[in-house]
Structure 1
Amino acid sequence: MTPTDAFHVPSGRHDIRLVVCDMDGTLLDAAKRIPDALWPLVAVMRERGIVFAPASGRQHATLAQQFARLGESLVVIAENGSLVVDGGEVVSCSPLPAGAMNRIVAAVRGHAIAGFDVGTVVCGLRSAYVERDDAAFMSKVEPYYAALEVVDDLTAVEDAVLKVAVYDFGDAAHDAYPALAHLADELQVVVSDRHWIDLMAPGVDKGVAVRALQGSLGVTPAQTVVFGDYLNDLEMMGTAELSFAMANAHPDVAARARYIAPSNVDHGVVVTLRRLLEHPVG
């Protein structure tokens, strides 16, 4: 689909019941912070029975920490769609197939031996795990994983593995992706930003997660708003009639979305939600 005029927000009343929002490059500002102006809007949405759900490659523990003020009723799509939680209830959980984690770890280790500066995060249901613990790598990992353990051998981790994330200090699409592309026959391999690649169970993405949440809540695409900016948000754009790509979005995401919102540094999510919430239904 082709986006309408830049920064256009449909006028009139909207029967909105679900708002799903990516984090990095979408909701978070240039300093990686949630805009203060979001919280009053979330309060308004709650009063109107609208569910607000962050959708991120970040783990559940990190999102719960960032949105702690929303309490136990928080709804999140974590690990790029591998885990959907509504309050304390798991809506969907999609661990990697048996043996896949070891094949990924082996591929990344081989890429590192070949001279590339990469590191691996095994994302489990209980915690995330790394075996590389130098300051440079940990500074890239810690902001995304509040529950994090350093282990001697990633292949010895005993946890339900939801995702494996690979950080490339160079260009992930150009350097690390070719070393992992052979795994695309059995896994979902997604470049989630310039430096990160996420590997998940086949068929898992944020779009599938949104549909699972819609089914659980009894919400339709016509009642759903989604915001995103990068390739791991691509499938979300087809789950909502009110789909917004940020002005800073990847061209493929902008082409898939119905509308364009201002950039994350211009607080585009907040600006757009204010407009959409101007006219309550009923």
Structure 2
Amino acid sequence: MPYSPSPAPLHAAAGPAAADIRLIVTDMDGTLLDEDKRPPAELWTVLELLRERGVLFSPASGRQYATLAQEFSRAADGMVFIAENGTYVVRDGVELSSDPLDPAVVAEVLATVRRLNADGVDVGAVVCGKRSAYVERADEPFLAEVRRYYVENRVVADATAVQDDILKVALFDFGPAERTTAPALARFAGTHQVVVSGEHWVDLMNRTANKGAAIRRLQRELGITPAQTMAFGDYLNDLEMLDAAEWSFAMANAHPEVVRRARHLAPANTDNGVLRTVARVLGLPLPA
């Protein structure tokens, strides 16, 4: 289905009579969370109202499952967590789908990171497994960034030797990842997903893995259509997710490519854009 070159704002007529929404999927950082990485105060009330209406709410993030489960512990029952950019989908502690990397590819990516380090690039790799994230760097500035997204993390001597299913390799670049680290991974782009997921982050996954693919599997399993799906995103790892929803929203402060890809604009994450939009479309008793 074609997309408008510039997304439309949400029309005032949109409301309960205009939208049969069964699934709401949202990115976290830069989308649902505010500038301090905190959820809106009204989130828990909204989640309860959505549950009463039979609407499934699903966080879709580059964060690990353990981090998402901790963040939503107050409302986790029945919630589907789309973790690690779609490579790991879990509901009530049960894996619904996963897409692990070949260990040989993980080793190649880590070798690339080590070469970047030797050339003076301040970058570190996070090897994202089902059970934990694994890092070889142990300096506090790097670990502080890792902890934001990976509550389960371990420092190891050799991340290629861990015994775990590896879902993704995430690279944190203290400089601009789009200009430095992403080009270094360009040789993998022919066979894998190489996605700039934030100003300082680049993720490498299987070509078959992305948030959109995870959502389409979920839609098939639950009998939910794209027309019944609402999705919110702000960065390049959200593009396929927006494609999977007819009610697709770029945040007002999203990456320009995300704004071009989405059907509608939502207010910025700094202005509680996700919940304001959900309230307006579904007619919830919250400020819109």
Shared fold per TM-score greater than 0.5: yes
Which residue, out of 10, 14, 18, partners 1:11?
A: 14
Q: 1:39 to 1:10 in 2, by over 3 A?
A: farther
Output one character per residue of 1:102-127: Cα deviation in whole Å (capped at 9) or x when no partner.
00000010011011000010000110
> Within 2, Cα distance between the matches of 1:243 and 1:167?
28
Give the alignment partner of residue 39 of structure 1, picking from 38, 44, 67. Answer: 44
Q: TM-score, normalised by structure 1?
A: 0.96
**Cα offset for 1:7?**
4.9
SS of 1:52's equivalent?
strand
Report the CA distance shift for 1:122/1:4 in structure 2 as closer, same or farther (over 3 A).
closer
Equivalent of 2:226, from 221, 225, 247?
A: 221
Residue 197 of structure 2 is aligned with which of 179, 182, 192?
192
Q: Mind listing any 5+ residue stretches in structure 1 that lack a counterpart?
A: none
Aligned to 2:135: 130
The alignment partner of 1:76 has SS state of: strand
Measured in 2, the distance between the counterparts of 1:95 and 1:10 equals 44
Judge conservation of contact 1:91–1:212 (CA < 8 Å) in 2.
no
What is the alpha-carbon root mean square deviation over aligned residues? Answer: 1.4
Give 1:166's aligned residue. Answer: 171
Mapping 1:117-266, distance limit 5 Å? 117-266=122-271
Q: Residue 281 of structure 2 aligns with which residue?
A: 276
Number of matched pairs: 280
Question: 8 Å contact 1:73–1:88 — kept in the other structure?
Answer: no
Determine helix, strand or coil for the equivalent of 2:148.
coil
The letter for the 1-side match of 2:121 is F
Give the secondary-structure state (helix, strand or coil) at the position aligned to 1:132: coil
Counterpart for residue 89 of structure 1? 94
Q: Structure 2 regions of 5+ residues with no counterpart?
A: none
Deviation at 1:87, TM superposition (A): 1.9
The counterpart of 2:80, out of the listed 51, 75, 78, is 75
Percent of aligned positions with the same letter in both sequences? 54
SS of the residue corresponding to residue 174 of structure 1 reads coil
Compare 214-223 and 161-170 and name the one that shifted more: 214-223
Tell me the TM-score normalised to structure 2 length: 0.94
1:89 Cα offset (Å) = 2.3
Match of 2:106 in 1: 101
Q: Deviations over 1:12-65 (max 9, x none)?
A: 322110000000000000110000111111111100110000000000000000
8 Å Cα contact 2:44-2:75 kept in structure 1: no
Q: 2: CA distance between counterparts of 1:225 and 1:196?
A: 25
Q: Deviations over 1:124-176 (max 9, x none)?
A: 01100011010110111101001111111111111100000000001101011
The offset of 1:9, in angstroms, is: 5.8
Summarize the Cα distance change of 1:9–1:169 in structure 2 as closer, same or farther, 3 Å threshold: farther
Asked if residue 58 in structure 1 is aligned to residue 63 in structure 2, the reply is: yes
Structure-1 separation of matches of 2:65 and 2:152: 9
The answer as to whether partners of 1:23 and 1:56 remain within 8 angstroms in 2 is: yes
The runs of at least 4 aligned residues of structure 1 exceeding 4 Å deviation read none
Tell me: higher relative CO, structure 1 or 2? Use CA pairs within 8 A at least 6 residues apart: 1
Letter in 2 for 1:16: I
How far residue 95 of structure 1 moved from its aligned partner, in angstroms, is 0.3
